[in-house]
């Protein structure tokens, strides 16, 4: 066994470990070795760059593209997966470096779409203006920020680093790989990653200007969205040769990408009334690529209406609410039971620590969400929602080699990530002193 693959049996890092152990009443879905190894071999893809291939052998690989693979291997070269399948039938390139993760599982890196801590904790709420379509978090990313390292230690490999909810439109976030201490260019997956809007409660303004009420903030946001829609339409007409060249407006350039459906909108929304208002505005009226984020408090009461619209929901950080009779209501379970199938889970870090995203999923399971849905909700589903499923969220040929090694079920807090890889590079090893 190589030093980089040595097994560490330290205590679990998660702060809510004792509470999460109650989640172990459920079990990971079983898949027999015979069924897994019956899968046909996957051919090698062409490596994007030179350098040796790395073959990672594991007792089980969770691909999220199909059933688990037992006694399997993942081959990475140049940061990309070039082969994955049963050990006995998957071709290994000559000269590949072998990594034997004996008795261990491989899992896709987790994806968190509601993350505020890659810039050092500040500089994400500019409170002077209620609407800030010109702003972006790219300019405040701090690659040396320790929260990035901690996120990676929890198996989180990709995050959407967004502005806060102090204003109705905080600006645009950036999609990042959690590569602590590297150059910013190596971290960016997509810029802009998403526009951040906040509805209700947090952005209500107390300075006497318009936006103190939901009526006022809704009117302000509607006026800006109408301007952005018309600006984008004018540029499309010009490109098609059916209209004059519009006057360049720097304040609307990022918003233009939203109405061209190149960039999604992530909307901070809590409570049933605001969930419906968000769906009405961003699906019924403006019809943009959108994700409703939070959905907490009594938002679950609106879940059936959201399900009819097919609203993508990104739930958290609160995993439960008390119903009118004082009983626990699992938030994710309520949305799932109502028919919301496009469902992911977040931390709203630092509200819940970034590295505790898998614990969020464990709590959702404890409160009734099916296991497979919870695992997909922190891997493949958020990647699909944000438009990067061609690179992240699952393990298949051609995707980024973002994965971690653990001692068993990745949603069991007793099996924290032991080794974490981003694009094939080891970024965290359990037990290392920082």
Strand 290-294 vs strand 54-61: parallel, antiparallel, or unpaired?
A: unpaired
Judged against a pLDDT cut of 70, whether residue 267 lies above it is answered with yes
* Residue count (the chain): 434
Least confident range of 41-50, 192-201, 270-279, 364-373? 41-50
Is there a domain that residue 407 lies in?
yes
Is there a domain that residue 434 lies in?
no
Judged against a pLDDT cut of 50, whether residue 22 lies above it is answered with no
Question: pLDDT digits over 284-338, tens only?
Answer: 999 999 999 999 999 999 999 999 999 999 999 999 998 888 888 999 999 999 9
CATH number at residue 279: 3.20.20.140
Question: pLDDT digits over 394-425, tens only?
Answer: 999 999 999 999 999 999 999 999 999 999 99
Strand 343-345 vs strand 403-406: parallel, antiparallel, or unpaired?
A: unpaired
First to last CA, the chain: 23
* Residue 123 binned pLDDT confidence (cut-offs 50, 70, 90): confident
* Residue 17 binned pLDDT confidence (cut-offs 50, 70, 90): very low
Q: What is the pLDDT of residue 353?
A: 97
Judged against a pLDDT cut of 60, whether residue 15 lies above it is answered with no
The verdict on 21 and 151 lying in the same domain is: no
The verdict on 260 and 407 lying in the same domain is: no
Mean pLDDT (the chain, rounded): 89
Percent of the chain whose predicted confidence (pLDDT) is above 90: 79
* Residue 204 binned pLDDT confidence (cut-offs 50, 70, 90): confident
Question: Rounded to whole angstroms, how far apart are CA atoms 290 and 275?
Answer: 12
Q: What is the pLDDT of residue 212?
A: 81
Q: What is the pLDDT of residue 211?
A: 74
Q: In a 3-state reduction of DSSP, which class is residue 155? A: coil
Strand 328-330 vs strand 320-322: parallel, antiparallel, or unpaired?
A: antiparallel
The verdict on 165 and 257 lying in the same domain is: yes
The verdict on 73 and 207 lying in the same domain is: no
79 within 8 A of 401, measured Cβ to Cβ: yes
The verdict on 162 and 256 lying in the same domain is: yes
| Distances from the Cα of 301 to the Cα of 272, 326, 329, 330, angstroms | 6, 15, 11, 12
366 within 8 A of 332, measured Cβ to Cβ: no
DSSP label of 400 = B
Judged against a pLDDT cut of 90, whether residue 362 lies above it is answered with yes
Judged against a pLDDT cut of 80, whether residue 355 lies above it is answered with yes
Question: pLDDT digits over 61-114, tens only?
Answer: 999 999 999 999 999 999 999 999 999 999 999 999 999 999 999 999 999 999
Q: In a 3-state reduction of DSSP, which class is residue 251? A: helix
The verdict on 134 and 256 lying in the same domain is: yes
The verdict on 52 and 200 lying in the same domain is: no
Judged against a pLDDT cut of 90, whether residue 28 lies above it is answered with no
Geometric angle at alpha carbon 199, from 306 and 361, rounded to 5°: 60
The verdict on 133 and 270 lying in the same domain is: yes
The verdict on 189 and 333 lying in the same domain is: yes
Q: What is the pLDDT of residue 51?
A: 85
The verdict on 410 and 351 lying in the same domain is: no
The verdict on 63 and 138 lying in the same domain is: no
Q: What is the pLDDT of residue 156?
A: 98
Question: pLDDT digits over 40-65, tens only?
Answer: 333 333 334 568 999 999 999 999 99
Q: What is the pLDDT of residue 433?
A: 67
Which helix (H) or strand (E) covers residue 254, if one does?
helix 253-259
Q: What is the pLDDT of residue 83?
A: 98
Q: What is the pLDDT of residue 380?
A: 98
Question: Rounded to whole angstroms, how far apart are CA atoms 434 and 419?
Answer: 15
Mean pLDDT score, 118-141: 90
Which tops the pLDDT comparison, 433 or 291?
A: 291
Q: Residue 337 phi/psi, 5° resolution?
A: -65, -30
Judged against a pLDDT cut of 90, whether residue 19 lies above it is answered with no
Q: In a 3-state reduction of DSSP, which class is residue 332? A: helix
Question: Rounded to whole angstroms, how far apart are CA atoms 391 and 400?
Answer: 5
The verdict on 194 and 70 lying in the same domain is: no
How many C-beta atoms surround the C-beta of residue 343 within 10 A? Answer: 24
Question: Rounded to whole angstroms, how far apart are CA atoms 191 and 174?
Answer: 5
Mean pLDDT score, 269-283: 96
Note down the domain range covering 278.
111-386
Question: pLDDT digits over 140-195, tens only?
Answer: 999 999 999 999 999 999 999 999 999 999 999 999 999 999 999 999 999 999 99
Q: What is the pLDDT of residue 2?
A: 35
Domains held by the chain: number: 2
CATH number at residue 400: 2.30.40.10
């Amino acid at each position: 066994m190589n030093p980089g693959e040595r097994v560490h049996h330290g205590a679990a890092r998660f702060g809510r470990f004792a509470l999460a152990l109650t989640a172990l009443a459920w079990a990971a879905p079983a898949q027999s070795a015979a069924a897994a190894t019956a899968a046909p071999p996957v051919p090698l893809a062409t490596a994007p760059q030179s350098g040796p291939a790395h073959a990672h052998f594991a007792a089980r690989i969770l691909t999220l593209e199909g059933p688990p693979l037992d006694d399997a291997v993942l081959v990475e070269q140049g940061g990309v997966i070039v082969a994955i399948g049963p050990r006995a039938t998957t071709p290994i390139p000559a000269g590949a470096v072998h990594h034997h993760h004996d008795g261990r599982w491989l899992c896709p890196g987790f994806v968190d779409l509601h993350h505020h801590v890659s810039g050092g904790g500040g500089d994400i709420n500019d409170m002077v203006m209620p609407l800030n379509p010109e702003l972006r978090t790219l300019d405040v990313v701090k690659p040396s920020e320790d929260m990035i390292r901690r996120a990676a230690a929890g198996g989180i490999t990709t995050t959407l680093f967004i502005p806060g909810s102090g204003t109705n439109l905080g600006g645009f976030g950036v999609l990042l790989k959690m590569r602590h201490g590297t150059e910013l260019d190596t971290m960016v997956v997509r810029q802009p990653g998403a526009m951040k809007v906040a509805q209700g409660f947090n952005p209500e303004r107390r300075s006497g200007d318009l936006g103190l009420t939901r009526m006022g903030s809704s009117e302000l946001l509607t006026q800006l969205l109408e301007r952005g829609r018309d600006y984008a339409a004018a540029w499309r007409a010009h490109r098609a040769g059916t209209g004059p060249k519009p006057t360049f407006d720097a304040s609307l350039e990022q918003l233009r990408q939203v109405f061209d459906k190149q960039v999604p909108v992530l909307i901070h929304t809590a409570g049933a009334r605001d969930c419906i208002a968000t769906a009405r505005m961003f699906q019924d009226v403006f019809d943009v690529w959108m994700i409703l984020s939070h959905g907490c408090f009594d938002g679950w009461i609106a879940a059936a209406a959201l399900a009819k619209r097919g609203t993508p929901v990104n739930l958290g950080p609160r995993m439960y609410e008390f119903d009118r009779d004082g009983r626990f209501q699992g938030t994710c379970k309520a949305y799932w039971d109502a028919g919301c199938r496009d469902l992911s889970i977040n931390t709203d870090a630092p509200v819940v620590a970034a590295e505790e995203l898998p614990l969020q999923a464990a709590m959702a399971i404890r409160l009734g969400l099916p296991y497979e849905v919870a695992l997909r909700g922190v891997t493949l589903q958020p990647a699909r929602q944000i438009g990067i499923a061609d690179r992240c969220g699952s393990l298949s040929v051609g995707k980024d080699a973002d994965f971690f090694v653990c001692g068993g079920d990745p949603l069991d807090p007793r099996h924290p990530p032991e080794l974490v890889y981003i694009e094939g590079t080891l970024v965290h090893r359990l037990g290392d002193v920082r």
